[in-house]
């Protein structure tokens, strides 16, 4: 099984910060820290067996999406030497429309 480096785009980092803020406000910073750690650990595990999730070439070429704990959708692409986490969407956000907006603007 090939091992690839996992990197995050700036948008993905912003998404994780936003998810943290939502959870910290609704619950507590401690809960948000734990959730953030679990999301990041999940993403880091994409270094092995990275060609998982559902392919969504209809939205963006080589796009893959995978769910995390029923509340987060992680969107990524697999390159020969790395996995690029493009975005993380929380709580039922319409992620496919967001990719269309990103491509348009």
pLDDT tens readout for residues 47-98: 998 889 999 999 999 999 999 999 999 999 999 999 999 999 998 767 767 6
Kindly state the percentage of the chain with pLDDT values over 70: 88
pTM: 0.87
**For position 101, what pLDDT does the model report?**
56
**Cβ distance 96 to 56 under 8 Å?**
yes
**For position 76, what pLDDT does the model report?**
97
Query: Has residue 25 got a pLDDT over 60?
Result: yes
Q: Which of 78, 25, 80 is nearest to 53 (CA)?
A: 78
Domains of the chain: 5-104 (3.30.2310.20)
Quote the CA–CA distance of 68 and 60 in Å, as a whole number: 20
**For position 50, what pLDDT does the model report?**
83
Mean pLDDT calculated for residue range 4-25: 97
């Amino acid at each position: 099984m090939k091992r690839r480096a996992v990197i995050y785009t700036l948008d993905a980092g912003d998404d994780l910060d936003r998810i943290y803020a939502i959870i910290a406000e609704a619950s507590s910073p401690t809960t948000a820290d734990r959730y953030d750690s679990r999301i990041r650990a999940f993403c880091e595990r994409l270094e092995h067996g990275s060609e998982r999730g559902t392919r969504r070439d209809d939205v963006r070429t080589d796009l893959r999406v995978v769910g995390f704990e029923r509340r987060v959708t992680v969107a990524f692409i697999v390159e020969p030497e790395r996995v690029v986490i493009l975005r993380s969407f929380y709580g039922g956000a319409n992620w496919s429309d967001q990719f269309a907006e990103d491509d348009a603007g």
